[in-house]
Amino acid sequence: MAAIEKRARWRGSSAQAVNAAIAVLGITLLLVALACSVSSTRANNTRCLQAFASDQHRTLEAFLRDPALQDSLGSAIDHCSR
* pLDDT tens digits, one per residue of 27-78: 999 999 888 777 766 777 888 888 888 888 887 787 778 887 777 878 887 8
- What whole-number distance in Å separates Cα of residue 66 and Cα of residue 17? 61
Cα torsion at 19, 25, 27, 31 (round to 10°)? 180
pLDDT-derived band at 25 (thresholds 50, 70, 90) equals very high
Rounded to 5°, the CA angle 12-15-16 comes to 90
What's the whole-model pTM score?
A: 0.46
pLDDT of residue 11: 59
pLDDT of residue 4: 54
Distances (CA, A) of 63 to 45, 46, 72: 16, 14, 8
Please report which helix (H) or strand (E) contains residue 40, including its range.
helix 2-55
